[in-house]
Amino acid sequence: MTRLARLLPVTLAGLVLVAGCGAQSAAATTWATANGHPITQAEVVTRMNVIKVLDPSAASQLKQRSTWLSETKELATEYLLAQEAAKAGFKVSQKEINSSETQLQSYLVSSYGSKSALQKAMTKDGATQQDMNAYASSAALLQGYLAKVAPAKPVTQAQVQAFYTQNLSQFQQPKQYDLAHILVKTQVQAESILAQLQKGANFAALAKKYSTDPGSAANGGDLGYQPLSTYVTAFAQAAAKLTTVGQLSPVVHSQYGYHIIKLLGIKPASTQPLSAVQSEIKAYLQQQASQSAIQAYLNKMTAKATIKTSLPKTLP
């Protein structure tokens, strides 16, 4: 499936397609052609540099020759799509382009934590602000055009029901325990606190006073409803033996220290009703339908075109 067909929040559309409709430099090294139009090494390198910024986790994948080839073909496909959009007279407004650029910038600043961190990453990966803006403006054009020429049929309630029925196991919720705990560093201290609790001391008050778990101490040790699989083995095994609300465990040792656990409540295993998940299912199915419609359109378009690739043996 191509990047265009995935329709991510920020669509991975062409980086240089708007500008690329013009003449190419005679000195540019051609790595592919789309109906005779050259896709140059510089364009592919720019694409790879921008992807590094968009998804740092893909760094190792971007070293593979197969990735360079797929991204080269992607640029060729996007060129063809941009040409179709131009022939159809499809345009996006400057407002839409600005919005796409702002959306991308906001997404990246949020991902990296600050503008300075983003700029540092762009410099390291060889991507400029101009590259990012070109990427965003092309995304606005191609995403908008695909929405027009490859719309998906609306998902029906019958389809939602069928998906729910066929995937019922996905909507099952395991048994959940509402547990509170007091975590301390030594067994001696834990045994002392347990003795106080057994004599009637207030669990929440002691948790606030002694527990070294900052995530729960302020809440009187309450961890909230969770399946036991959430916890480390020793803790989960001890909690599983608690059957009565208010029951205390003996001192439990784990990799974090020494725990005293109190059972606050239990929710039995259950299946989420369709009414609780149908909007989520419908959104998922609509996304799948959109991806399928786009992929079908792109397959039909490229089947009529001539795309040739000629990557060198040694890549940048």
What is the pLDDT tens value at each position of the chain, 316 positions in all?
A: 455 444 333 333 333 343 344 444 434 699 999 999 999 999 999 999 999 999 999 888 988 999 999 999 999 999 999 999 999 999 999 999 999 999 999 999 999 999 999 999 999 999 999 999 999 999 999 999 999 999 999 999 999 999 999 999 999 999 999 999 999 999 999 999 999 999 999 999 999 999 999 999 999 999 999 999 999 999 999 999 999 999 999 999 999 999 999 999 999 999 999 999 999 999 999 999 999 999 999 999 999 999 999 998 888 8
Q: Are 283 and 12 spatial neighbours (Cβ–Cβ below 8 Å)?
A: no
Element of type H or E holding 158: helix 157-166
Which are the contacts of 28, defined by CB distance < 8 A and separation ≥ 6? 38, 40, 41, 42
The beta strands (E) that lie in 62-186 are given as 172-173, 176-184
Residue written as tokens 């364009």? 43
Distance separating alpha carbons of residues 93 and 34, to the nearest angstrom: 27
Is domain 175-268 annotated with CATH 3.10.100.10?
no
Q: Where are the domains of the chain?
A: 3-155+287-309, 175-268
Using only the alpha carbons of the chain, give its radius of gyration: 28
Which residues have C-beta within 8 Å of that of residue 301, sequence separation ≥ 6? 77, 80, 81, 84
121: left (phi over 0), alpha (psi -120 to 50) or beta: alpha
